[in-house]
Structure 1
Amino acid sequence: MFDRLVQLIVDSLKLFMFWTVVPSYAGGVILRLGTFHRLATPGFHWVWPFSIETTLLTNVVPETMNVGPQSLTTKDGVSIVIATVVTFGVSDPKVFLLEIEGGNQVVDDSTYGVVSELVLSKTWDELRHTDVANELTKAVRRQAKRYGVDVRSVAVSDLTRSRSLRLMSPHLKHVAM
């Protein structure tokens, strides 16, 4: 019972806060009555109390994301498995926070799509002998930019021929290996 009373007092005091502090690793937006009012850069900001203005923050420093392995088939019919690591940061907190849902999922989905398109358009030899990471970085960067994300690099962490066989025809029951 006492802990609920303390929580009520703390929550009540938060209504009277007329400032917010944005840490150096974050960026964000200040909403007035639920609509965008201004950007919140690192530092001290005055805000209207009683939740008239609220602050939404996101991490803007670079981070990495492992994009899980994808089983794909190249243009010449070779089954491969490819996995990537994406290094990115938020470049536009307004777009990232207010115009999309699930920002990190956007990076993951964009990378999956671009990797798939690239692999399907190249042969196995082309994949092994070209700068795939550079091509992927450029394409993922273009895709993610519209979501307020700056992709710094895409590295291929695994590119191997697949050992499994995926049956394409529903009438095939089994395949001897």
Structure 2
Amino acid sequence: MIIDFLYFQLLIVILLIMLFASMFRILREYERGVVFLLGRFHKVKGPGFIILIPFVQQMVRVDLRIVTMDVPSQDLISKDNVTVRVNAVLYFRVLDPQKAIINVENYLEATSQLAQTTMRSVLGQHELDEILSARDTLNADLQRILDQSTDGWGIKVSAVEIKHVDLDESMIRAIARQAEAERSRRAKVIHATGELEASKQLLEAAHVLAQQPEAIQLRYLQTLTEISSDNSKILVFPVPMELGKILQKMSTETQPDNADGPTQMT
């Protein structure tokens, strides 16, 4: 009988220890406790040492650190009817533990699903070139939309980054051909621009050389030095510019004699 009484007392002591142990909680600096009193929201406690009334108060821990969530690859159709697969990474944190626990069942799962659907809807409104080149703008749009949608859940979305865009092999080849054509177009434009600038410079040089005829002769001699080289087999003999004038004068003097016709022999 005495042994049974001792066992009963020991059992009571163990139950009291377990009861008192369940009253005490220690929350880290980045944790908060959402306390419910008989099923109703009571208050948010923490960090540090807190005391709960057993069977009357219950607590749910909430982590306030930034969560890095990988958004799975999503199949979407761009505005120009191109099928692509896009994945991203999402950064968010809980600002209001009360809303995060009461207003949504599982804020982690809800945020992940919302990010997937938002990414499909937003990127589907843009063309493929914008998805590939304007990522900063698209990231800002996704962050703004997600932040507004999760505001009622007590969540702050700090950043959304598109990581990778997968394309079909045929589309990759088409983009390569497009880039090659663009480079060819730029080369032609640059060449035409150079020709235009060169023609303007040549016209200006011609006006300058026309003011002094001797300058043309000097330029002619300089051109001969550029053509001639040590290994060249071509001999270049400079012809004076005055020779052309003499030949022209002689031809004009002989024209009247030729106009009378051939000379008759007697």
TM-score, normalising length: structure 1: 0.79
Q: Does 1:32 align with 2:37?
A: yes
Partner SS state of residue 153, structure 2:
coil
1:81 to 47, 60, 85: 85
Aligned to 2:17: 13
Partner SS state of residue 156, structure 1:
strand
Distance in 1 between residues matched to 2:24 and 2:77, nearest whole Å: 55
Distance in 1 between residues matched to 2:56 and 2:63, nearest whole Å: 24
1:114 to 103, 111, 118: 118
Q: In the alignment, residue 153 of structure 1 is paired with which amino acid?
A: A
1:152 to partner: Cα distance: 1.2
1:63 to 63, 67, 80: 67
Aligned to 1:168: none
Partner SS state of residue 104, structure 1:
helix
Distance in 2 between residues matched to 1:22 and 1:10, nearest whole Å: 25
Please tell me the root mean square deviation across aligned C-alpha atoms, in Å: 2.2
Alignment of 1:123-162 (within 5 A): 123-130=127-134, 131=136, 132-162=138-168
Aligned to 1:101: 105
1:60 to partner: Cα distance: 1.1
Q: Which structure dedicates a bigger proportion of its chain to helix?
A: 2
Partner SS state of residue 61, structure 1:
coil
State the identity %.
22
1:87 to partner: Cα distance: 0.9
Distance 1:64 1:120, change over 3 A: same
Distance 1:15 1:99, change over 3 A: farther
Contact 1:28–1:97 (8 Å) recurs in 2: no
The aligned length equals 156
Q: Which stretches of structure 1, 4 residues or longer, exceed 6 Å deviation after superposition?
A: 8-11
Q: Which structure dedicates a bigger proportion of its chain to strand?
A: 1
Q: Deviations over 1:119-171 (max 9, x none)?
A: 1211111222322212111111111222121111111111232459xxxxxxx
Q: Deviations over 1:65-107 (max 9, x none)?
A: 1010001100110111100100111111111112211211111
Distance in 1 between residues matched to 2:112 and 2:15, nearest whole Å: 36
Q: In the alignment, residue 156 of structure 1 is paired with which amino acid?
A: I
Distance 1:15 1:72, change over 3 A: same
Distance 1:134 1:18, change over 3 A: same
5+ residue gaps, structure 2, are 1-11, 171-266
Aligned to 1:175: none
Aligned to 2:5: none
Distance in 2 between residues matched to 1:143 and 1:159, nearest whole Å: 25
Distance in 1 between residues matched to 2:60 and 2:18, nearest whole Å: 15
TM-score, normalising length: structure 2: 0.54
Q: Does 1:22 align with 2:27?
A: yes
Q: More displaced, 19-28 or 148-157?
A: 19-28
Distance 1:10 1:39, change over 3 A: farther
Distance in 2 between residues matched to 1:133 and 1:59, nearest whole Å: 25
